Amino acid sequence: MKNRPKDDFFAHLEDEGIGVTFGDVQLKTKYSTVRPPDVSLVSRFSRRVPLKVPFVSAAMDTVTEYPMAIAMAKAGGIGIIHRAMSPKEQARHVTRVKRYMNPFIPDPICVFETDTVESVLRMKEEKEYDFDTFLVLNAHGKLSGVLTSRNFKHCLENEVYLTVGTVMARDDLVTAHPDTSFEEAFQLMRKCPGDGIGLLPLVDESGMVAGLYTWKDIKRRKSSETEAYNTDTDGRLIVGAAIGIGDAGLAQAELLVLEDVDVLVIDAAHGDTETIVDMVRVVKKEFPDVDVVAGNISEADAVIRLIQAGVDGIKVGQGGGSICTTRTVAGIGCPQVSAVALCERAIRYTHKDIPVCSDGGVTESGHAAIALAAGASSVMMGRIFAGANEAPGDIIIYPDGQRFKRYDGMGSQSAMERSSAARERYGGNGSGKTVPEGVEAIVPCQGPVANVISRFIGGVRSSMGYLGAETISAFQMRAEFRRVTEAGRREASPHDVTVIPFSPISK
């Protein structure tokens, strides 16, 4: 095992019984030939789940549903869909992320010529479809036309009783054979711009529908901005989902795996328990091809048990989150930077290639840089993303015009009241523990998550430039830490000036 300069620093502090966190330490600068724009932020969330930028949005019901997960993956990171909803609903969120970039739909939703527009509209509402275009089949089940939003709009006003067959578009319907590749579909659809070729149904020799390409999705996939997206080998956005424990957790995992979720996150307040270690073992046995990340832990010896159970990634952080009260309520936990550094070193001692995700406590990009330098491969954040447009929940406007969004700890009273998953995570696995371990809060609105992430990308790049590191692993190899005093901490933030509001640092 190769030692890193930081190992002795944290081991020495640990021997003294001292744990340190973000405000306690800073990185030493090094001779550098590296310019921040030239560094690579490529990393991993788990053994086989890549990241183009090392940021992860937390599995919390005020942070990550499909809009956040899509935005996170588009920015190069990953979102973990929370589990404070029914497993079916959670699986639908995963589907929406996986479908976002997928121009090929193997089983498009079809309606019959004899259906009324009204019945199609009802089905759309019941099934919560977010699209308005359906392929239309005749009585023999063969493709006969397309029902588009134009037909809907027309009928919405006065003619919903008409049958689909009378209102659908049937003229310029272009089709292709079932083996049409993405590239062939692109060429075909590009040749015929216009409404009719917004869709390319694939049809076999007998006229049966065998799939569908949509121009909107093909265009999206072809655009150069997608180079920054975090995608799987099929070009779909990468997404994770949190799961619970026991048979229910396993059934939930099965639904998620069916939707091609990239990583399952076993999500517990205390990850070093028999229940969680057993759950990792069972989930890995059932779904060996899907990565499993488990946590949360903050002690080095806990990594051994999770690794023996087969984890592909470990989430480190207990009680350091902005909305957490676990440490005050239960008096447990380890300051975050020490927890990350010691757990990462323990993993290296096992000679296993298991990435650490540092979860909680980050409020500035410099904190993310410190977590990465201490050994994390990724940084999970809740508070930082909760004010973004893509986070769930309405905007709360205060009388003075300030705009906020709700951000609740999953162990807060209200989160536990609205979700059994939160009760399971913080309510002691059904042991009847009912003391809240989190608070309900609000955070300022932040605009699109892409803007939030770009601030963090800029900060981490800058940090890597100061240390002369071109990659995250070089960053970790070069990182040396120094403890700061109270005066040093004061000096490190703006002081003796009045900061103009709304600059990034004041948020």
- Token pair in block for residue 465: 């430039």
Q: Do residues 445 and 507 lie in contact, with contact meaning Cβ atoms separated by under 8 Å?
A: no
Q: Min. distance of Cβ 20 from ligand XMP in angstroms?
A: 17
Of 411, 427, 459, 465, the one binding ligand XMP (CB under 6 A) is: 411
Say how far apart CA 63 and CA 66 lie, in whole Å: 10
Q: Min. distance of Cβ 90 from ligand XMP in angstroms?
A: 17
Contact between 326 and ligand XMP per CB under 6 A: yes
Known catalytic membership, residue 192: no
CB of 253 or CB of 265, closer to ligand XMP:
265
- Cβ-closest position to ligand XMP: 438
Q: Is 268 annotated as a binding residue?
A: yes
Of 94, 155, 323, 346, the one binding ligand XMP (CB under 6 A) is: 323
Question: Quick check: helix, strand or coil at residue 134?
Answer: strand
Of 34, 58, 71, 266, the one binding ligand XMP (CB under 6 A) is: 58
Contact between 319 and ligand XMP per CB under 6 A: yes
Residue 112: CB atoms within 10 Å: 17
Of 95, 102, 116, 322, the one binding ligand XMP (CB under 6 A) is: 322
Q: Min. distance of Cβ 301 from ligand XMP in angstroms?
A: 20
Residues 6+ apart with CB under 8 A from 191: none
Which residue of the set 83, 236, 305, 324 is catalytic?
A: 324
Which residue of the set 425, 445, 461, 478 is catalytic?
A: 425
Q: Min. distance of Cβ 24 from ligand XMP in angstroms?
A: 16
Distances in Å between the alpha carbon of 424 and those of 178, 250, 266, 268, 490?
46, 15, 12, 8, 40
Say how far apart CA 24 and CA 399 lie, in whole Å: 37
Q: Min. distance of Cβ 426 from ligand XMP in angstroms?
A: 6
Among the listed ranges 110-118, 145-153, 302-310, 353-361, the one in contact with ligand XMP (CB under 6 A) is 353-361
Contact between 383 and ligand XMP per CB under 6 A: yes
Known catalytic membership, residue 418: no
In degrees and rounded to multiples of 5, residue 46 shows phi and psi of -145, 180
> Which of 305-342 are b and which e, b meaning 16 or more Cβ less than 10 Å from the residue's Cβ?
bbbebbbbbbbbbbbbbbbbbbbebeeebbbbbbbbbb
Q: Do residues 348 and 1 lie in contact, with contact meaning Cβ atoms separated by under 8 Å?
A: yes
Distances in Å between the alpha carbon of 401 and those of 235, 331, 407, 482?
42, 39, 19, 42
Among the listed ranges 91-99, 253-261, 403-411, 465-473, the one in contact with ligand XMP (CB under 6 A) is 403-411
Of 43, 365, 412, 429, the one binding ligand XMP (CB under 6 A) is: 412
CB of 309 or CB of 324, closer to ligand XMP:
324
Q: Is 324 annotated as a binding residue?
A: yes
Residues 6+ apart with CB under 8 A from 126: none
Among the listed ranges 43-51, 243-251, 405-413, 450-458, the one in contact with ligand XMP (CB under 6 A) is 405-413
Contact between 60 and ligand XMP per CB under 6 A: yes
Say how far apart CA 49 and CA 182 lie, in whole Å: 24
Contact between 23 and ligand XMP per CB under 6 A: no
Q: Is 207 annotated as a binding residue?
A: no
Among the listed ranges 104-112, 316-324, 481-489, 493-501, the one in contact with ligand XMP (CB under 6 A) is 316-324
Q: Residue written as tokens 């310029």?
A: 172
Q: Min. distance of Cβ 139 from ligand XMP in angstroms?
A: 53
CB of 236 or CB of 383, closer to ligand XMP:
383
Q: Min. distance of Cβ 293 from ligand XMP in angstroms?
A: 12
Q: What region does 479 belong to: left with phi over 0, alpha with psi -120 to 50, or beta? A: beta
| Strand 110-112 relative to strand 134-137, pairing | parallel
Q: What is the torsion angle, in degrees rounded to the nearest 10, for the CA atoms of residue 295, residue 9, residue 321 and residue 292? A: -20
Contact between 360 and ligand XMP per CB under 6 A: yes
DSSP state of 447: B
What are the binding residues for K(+)? 319, 321, 324
Binding site for ligand XMP (CB under 6 A): 58, 60, 296, 317, 319, 321-324, 326, 359-362, 380-383, 409-412, 426, 437-438
Which residues does the annotation mark as catalytic?
A: 324, 425
